[in-house]
Amino acid sequence: MRITEVKRVRGSLYRVWLDDEDAGSVDVRTWDESGWKLDGDISEEEWEALCERSARNRAKNKALYLLSLRDRSRGELFGKLKEEAGEDIARDTVEQMEAYGFLDDERLAARWAEDLSGRKCYPRRRVAQELVARGFTRDTAQEAADAIETEDHVLALAMLRKRYYNKMTSEDGRRKTAAALARYGFPREAIRRAFDNWENED
């Protein structure tokens, strides 16, 4: 196949035409390092290999960019990369980032768990659910949630003081408050203990 046109697009990509047909795009670095030139001949196997090198390079650059914005779990990063690079390249890139020391799910999950518990008063069950939604494995999420020092009933009592103190004066208000805490993720026993502690404070 003959390289019949090469056009720079979007700053960091070259669009390449082979035998006057649009064959796809290659990042500038990969293309420049390849040595291929306009009007040169390239086989189908060589073009496919070049495209894969470019895809891997672009996935690596995207991963580094995403991680420069904020910490991410392995699962979240994989999901972001898979959209463009496909599963195999995304998985390899995640492993590469982990080898560089840029990913540490256990440390990150523990930090986020404490943040969700302390800042939002999330109970352990909801923390685990939130971490899974952010791309952590269920085991990692549960381990981080279980390590939270503050007990659920203490968090539930904090919620009573912060949000529901004006509803605790009537039986109907107490029922609605208990239902709201349950929807928030608190177990029944934690809600009961929080109510008991509230009454003892009075």
Model pLDDT for residues 142-199, shown as the tens digit of each residue: 999 999 988 999 999 988 888 887 777 788 888 888 999 999 899 999 999 998 888 7
Please indicate, yes or no, whether residues 13 and 79 belong to a single structural domain of this protein: yes
Which of 100, 129, 153 is the C-terminal boundary of a domain? 100
Give residue 97's pLDDT: 94
Would strands 13-18 and 21-27 be described as parallel, antiparallel, or unpaired? Answer: antiparallel
Which of 100, 119, 153 is the C-terminal boundary of a domain? 100
Which 3 state secondary structure label does DSSP give 39? Answer: coil
Please indicate, yes or no, whether residues 135 and 177 belong to a single structural domain of this protein: yes
CATH number of the domain within which 15 lies:
1.10.10.10
Cα pseudo-dihedral 181, 184, 186, 191, rounded to 10: -10
Please indicate, yes or no, whether residues 94 and 156 belong to a single structural domain of this protein: no
Cα pseudo-dihedral 58, 105, 95, 9, rounded to 10: 0
Please indicate, yes or no, whether residues 112 and 83 belong to a single structural domain of this protein: no
Please indicate, yes or no, whether residues 95 and 10 belong to a single structural domain of this protein: yes
DSSP characters over 185-196: T--HHHHHHHHH
Please indicate, yes or no, whether residues 88 and 131 belong to a single structural domain of this protein: no
CB 177 within 8 A of CB 160: yes
Taking all residues of the chain, what is their mean pLDDT, rounded to a whole number? 90
What percent of the chain is modeled with pLDDT above 90?
Answer: 55
Please indicate, yes or no, whether residues 21 and 85 belong to a single structural domain of this protein: yes
d(CA 121, CA 59): 37
What is the residue whose two structure tokens read 């035409």? 17
Q: Which residues span the domain enclosing 45?
A: 3-100
Please indicate, yes or no, whether residues 116 and 54 belong to a single structural domain of this protein: no
d(CA 24, CA 31): 12
Please indicate, yes or no, whether residues 113 and 37 belong to a single structural domain of this protein: no
CB 7 within 8 A of CB 15: yes
Domain count, the chain: 2
